A = this chain, B = another copy of it.
Amino acid sequence: MKIVETVMLLNRGSFAASGAWTTIRSNVHSAIAQAEWPVGSGAFTIYPESGKKSGHGNGVVPIKAKPMKLLQEDGWTLEYPWEVTTKTAVTTRGRAKGTRPGDIDAARQFDEGLVVVEWETGNVSSSHRAINKMALGLVAKKCVAGVLIIPNMKLARYLTDRIGNIEEIRPYIPLWENLSVAEGVLELVVIEQDGESTDSPRIPKGKDGRAQEAMLAALIAKS
């Protein structure tokens, strides 16, 4: 997978300038770039069919399967339960809300603080939530860096319709840059397929979440 661009929404303070972050970032980028399709091919070659119509185009699982596996082997925790939100809200039944950890795709505690990594393979509106969540982590000092991996339209056009893409997020960049965060990194990593070929199989689209979950588990094991 090609990393075609990185967008630094926030890049402030001592950690952002540290050698430790330079190394961590390099390792994360390396893992991201090793996403592959077909599995074992060493490149990401997509079947070039628009994902606009129902049943057409490609699913999203291989984008994150191998990179997550690699991070795991490097000491990262997958599906990390992240207590980023506050604890004040309570439901009518007396249960706490906003306290349940939303899982982060991969996270690792370093001496300098927590670094979190998320792949954006849901609806573009979900990208807003993902970025807001990492930004909140920085505001609340629960992490020192957040990395969101997001396709550009050249890739997204072949995936499920309305999947998160950098073009639709770009107009909002001034919003996150406006945050009063003194310390930390918030980075978007923009990805694109290595190539396109009608000889490459279509990536199965899960009819439902179960199919996707099973496929992710299978691909992580296979990677």
Q: Mark A residues whose CB is within 8 Å of B.
A: 84-86, 88-89, 91-92, 97-98, 122-126, 128-129, 132-133, 135-136, 139-140, 153-154, 167-168, 170-172, 174-175, 178-181
Selected A-B contacts with CB under 8 Å, 8 pairs: A92-B154, A98-B171, A125-B126, A125-B128, A128-B132, A133-B172, A135-B175, A179-B179
Q: A123-B125, A180-B180 are in contact. List 12 more A-B contacts (CB 8 A).
A: A97-B167, A97-B168, A97-B171, A125-B125, A125-B126, A128-B128, A132-B132, A135-B175, A136-B171, A139-B174, A178-B179, A178-B181
The residues of B that contact A135 with a CB separation of less than 8 Å are: 175
Q: Would B89 and A153 count as touching, CB distance under 8 A?
A: no
Q: Which 6 A-B residue pairs are closest in the complex by CB-CB distance?
A: A85-B171, A98-B171, A128-B128, A125-B126, A125-B125, A128-B129
The residues of B that contact A85 with a CB separation of less than 8 Å are: 171-172
Least CB separation from A133: chain B residue: B172
Q: Would A171 and B128 count as touching, CB distance under 8 A?
A: no
The residues of B that contact A126 with a CB separation of less than 8 Å are: 123, 125
